[in-house]
Structure 1
């Protein structure tokens, strides 16, 4: 009905329309008087009406066809734009099931062709250094650049072919420990005139770092704890401690200002083995499982309970320096194995698999229900992790704690204490998150202001893999999580293989097709400064993979895999797919002609991220 009506309407606009209009609009003839005449008259009118309708339809169809052919039809506006008349017809591209691969020139070249992961592992050994990305407002991730952002991983040239013991990054300053144990600093907060890392604290054999708002906390191999100001000016003008020597009556002043914050009441064989710092406070764990806390910043004294000392405020602190260490005695009977700090809160776990939290709980980062009348918890309180597995008949044990910003994470392993007859005992590894997650830093796929009950992170929970070495199915655990102010990265402890060293010799059990592969690493959270590393600025609430750090090497590998193909054609044909970034696990290799044990590690800071070669 619609097509006939439209065709009739179109016919009225043709050159023949006026004649047709007059034909259909003539005056009716006089009605006959007899019945027979009336019947004949009705038949003639019916036949005339049918002929009229047929004529209208034929003319309308002819007019529509003419307008369509001439390109003037009003109905053609709804269709897509026509291709040019002279354009060649599109060729149907046949699917490529298997392109011809170029011939390998050597055994190692064959491995590079087979696996992108093998190439990544090999390049991490051949070219150690630091990749960094994110905010560059403080000239930290790219000291020699004036760009405000670094959108994708970029090497810091100063660290090329260098191995580091640790690195910590903030938007305004960076700190690292080189292979000799000396402290390096850079960034605008350190010095606006300095354009590359500079040695500051030397000769202390430092092993690890933690940073607060304006100070660097460093731990030495002997267990000494140092508090160093970030500012170069303060290092020059502040009080400098006396250094001692094994030669009697021989001493001198240090060339920079710093404070020693090692607890004074340690036992004879006890020493500090781990440190962690928030914006205003720091925790120290000793070899016997004791925990100390102290003020790690110079601007503000911790006042949100994060020190773990009930009732301790700036006004009633003990006599002496404001940053003197205090032992957290409420957990003295629980040997602590792990410590972690966020901006204003703290987490610890003991050897028995229990977790305690204290400090700020305004976003639920302690794992307790929010209480407007008691936002801060100033004494370590047990996190009820067993109720997370209520009704499963499984016994849960906390294996590690992680924190950063206003977010916290727990890794928990659970298993049935007494498996039923014929049931195989299986351990499940899960990761739980709680706290602030409005920009995706919980990693649970949700955007939420306050997550005061631990929620499972699906990407890192209940995963298993087959271990060929042991011929068994094992849980995939997390090696560690690096938590920044609002984003994070997790390195999975999946089965890796780095048995093929970069050498011309081949072990007896190896074949030409054996390759190395590393550990999976995923990123998520706030991406305001491109710190997640995807090259885009959208936040991610679900952990995701990145492309390989060395994009030039990956592109070269993809371009050379298939004979006669170039990178542009590879991308067009879908053959140049890039693999995901895998981080290299710890392995003994040869670097610059010497044998070292090294690995790649990730560090998430305040709006910045780094992956570095660590010893």
Structure 2
């Protein structure tokens, strides 16, 4: 056996030798863990980080300027072992103080840096929007922060995360511009305002139900009753709509605002909402603009003149016009998507204006906006709106294992088995690749045919347990609404003795340093995230933490199993410790 073999990588990221293809490695020296004797045949296992140090541009307690953030020398953050204090690391823009609570607003954090307000905590989930952030601590309570939440610089002295939902045992969050959606372990879905002035102090300590103001949380109900034992198990939020999946494979959708069905992303038109002045409900329709006015995007030369008034072409029915859709009470009911009632759905994803559902047999249905080809329907659909769930076609004998979406991008993780029993995995992408988000080395504004993402597709390694080649697949994929992606490769499950880390790759939009490479140029091919420019590649680990605290600073548990998870927010990237 060979160990401690040193590979030198090229500048543009992770070059790996395997039997199927060559992928690219980031610029770094890496140490490869124990590999099988078949290395001579060209099968190479991923290595693990030899150094136990993670570097960052540390910020001082009184940092107020971008210059100070940029000029500090890298310092050691932590050693990855059970005796270490848990550190959450982030980089990208500090727009609205979402990453750093006391640093200057708008200052960019150009390399992975410790986020002090999350020190010593392990989270259940994290959601970062453009101007506000939210997380669930170990106790299952929701905290919110950011200038968008506090209302601007007038509240600069009160930037600590504020607890806004307590005692609900929350396990998952989704955020939009005006709301935060929280899913409890028992399947209830709660809506909390993204504005601090719409959350009362009474609501922080114990929600006052029954008030008609914006001072409490709203628990969503389903328009169609759930069967005995059925509960909601997953959420996915777009810009103006929310998808929900139940344990029985049923799919529901919620109109978040009046624009929720602008491109048919809801999968239905008829809704009803509570009346602001009575206990009755108001029925109405949200019609896609392309249905109301098929010539909306046509030039004046080719546009058919209409004798109807402009009001007749509005996509919102008369009964819904004039209502305030900024309130969390505006819509409180999830509606089942009619076209999916006979489909058992295993996974959901939501882009900004599009929706995706993966069935339990590996098929994918997509609907909503298609102006960048983000539905992956190839050239079979030419319009920019698809109102009915339509199947995404993959190569023969290929099944989809997961779907991820964000903004105008969508990714499909697939696997294919040949006659030898060897499984190969591929990652396909479609949509808006102007910032390199497709990962295929091409910058293009529209990609309707799912394109193979390089460096993370077709990877194989030898498994001594199985006696054959096994795929290296994407363990997790986080897609930001601004067009950058963080991909965690499962290089830990078969790493062998001394292994245990997972490679973290990033690509796409980098205008706000969200790739963490110290540059602003966008990257069209997946490359390794490095702990500092020119340093070793960043590896994600799991361990038993000696101590886990909640966001009140109280010890929640000891010797708890946690793992590092990468999250791509709007202009930001974060690696945090998550409870396993």
Q: What TM-score does the superposition give when structure 2 sets the normalisation length?
A: 0.71
Matched ranges for 1:157-556 at <5 A: 157-191=116-150, 192=152, 193=155, 194-236=158-200, 256-263=215-222, 265-296=225-256, 298=257, 300-309=259-268, 312-313=285-286, 315-316=316-317, 322-369=331-378, 374-385=383-394, 388-389=395-396, 395-416=397-418, 419=419, 424-485=420-481, 486-496=483-493, 515-548=498-531
> In proportion to residue count, which structure has more helix?
1
Query: For the residues of structure 2 that align with 1:239 and 1:589, how far apart are their CA atoms?
Result: 32
Query: For the residues of structure 2 that align with 1:318 and 1:409, how far apart are their CA atoms?
Result: 38
Q: Is the 8 A contact 2:472 2:491 kept in 1?
A: yes
Query: For the residues of structure 1 that align with 2:487 and 2:51, how far apart are their CA atoms?
Result: 18
- Alpha carbons of structure 1 residues 144 and 318: separation in structure 2 relative to 1, 3 Å: same
Which position in structure 1 is the counterpart of 2:113? Answer: 154
Deviations 1:385-412 (A, max 9, x none): 2xx34xxxxx111111010010000011
Deviations 1:444-488 (A, max 9, x none): 111001101101112111110122444432011111110001100
Q: Is the 8 A contact 1:124 1:584 kept in 2?
A: no
Query: For the residues of structure 2 that align with 1:210 and 1:380, how far apart are their CA atoms?
Result: 23
Which position in structure 2 is the counterpart of 1:108? Answer: none
Which position in structure 2 is the counterpart of 1:609? Answer: 573
Residue 591 of structure 1, CA deviation: 3.2
Which position in structure 2 is the counterpart of 1:595? Answer: 559
Query: For the residues of structure 2 that align with 1:270 and 1:240, how far apart are their CA atoms?
Result: 29
Which position in structure 2 is the counterpart of 1:145? Answer: 103
SS in 2 for 1:547: coil
**Which sits farther off after the overlay, 406-415 or 192-201?**
192-201
Query: For the residues of structure 2 that align with 1:496 and 1:117, how far apart are their CA atoms?
Result: 20
Query: For the residues of structure 1 that align with 2:517 and 2:167, how far apart are their CA atoms?
Result: 39
Which position in structure 1 is the counterpart of 2:291? Answer: none
**Which sits farther off after the overlay, 231-240 or 536-545?**
231-240
SS in 1 for 2:462: strand
Query: For the residues of structure 2 that align with 1:412 and 1:309, how far apart are their CA atoms?
Result: 29
Unaligned segments of structure 1, at least 5 residues = 1-113, 246-250, 390-394, 500-513, 552-576
- Alpha carbons of structure 1 residues 140 and 323: separation in structure 2 relative to 1, 3 Å: same
User: RMSD across aligned C-alpha pairs, in angstroms?
Assistant: 3.1
Q: What TM-score does the superposition give when structure 1 sets the normalisation length?
A: 0.67
SS in 1 for 2:200: helix
Q: Is the 8 A contact 2:502 2:540 kept in 1?
A: yes
Q: Is the 8 A contact 1:527 1:539 kept in 2?
A: yes
Residue 177 of structure 1, CA deviation: 0.4
Q: How many residues align?
A: 442
SS in 1 for 2:96: coil
- Alpha carbons of structure 1 residues 317 and 124: separation in structure 2 relative to 1, 3 Å: farther
Which position in structure 1 is the counterpart of 2:537? Answer: 580
Which position in structure 1 is the counterpart of 2:50? Answer: 116
- Alpha carbons of structure 1 residues 240 and 257: separation in structure 2 relative to 1, 3 Å: farther
SS in 2 for 1:378: strand
Deviations 1:1-42 (A, max 9, x none): xxxxxxxxxxxxxxxxxxxxxxxxxxxxxxxxxxxxxxxxxx
Query: For the residues of structure 2 that align with 1:373 and 1:415, how far apart are their CA atoms?
Result: 32
Residue 236 of structure 1, CA deviation: 3.2
Q: Is the 8 A contact 2:207 2:217 kept in 1?
A: no
SS in 1 for 2:546: strand
Unaligned segments of structure 2, at least 5 residues = 1-47, 55-77, 271-284, 288-315, 321-328, 549-556
- Alpha carbons of structure 1 residues 313 and 252: separation in structure 2 relative to 1, 3 Å: closer
SS in 2 for 1:544: strand
Q: Is the 8 A contact 2:125 2:172 kept in 1?
A: yes
> In proportion to residue count, which structure has more strand?
2
Q: Is the 8 A contact 1:280 1:301 kept in 2?
A: yes
Q: Is the 8 A contact 2:129 2:176 kept in 1?
A: no
Greater Rg by CA:
1
Q: Is the 8 A contact 1:241 1:259 kept in 2?
A: no
Query: For the residues of structure 1 that align with 2:228 and 2:237, how far apart are their CA atoms?
Result: 26
Query: For the residues of structure 1 that align with 2:505 and 2:220, how far apart are their CA atoms?
Result: 35
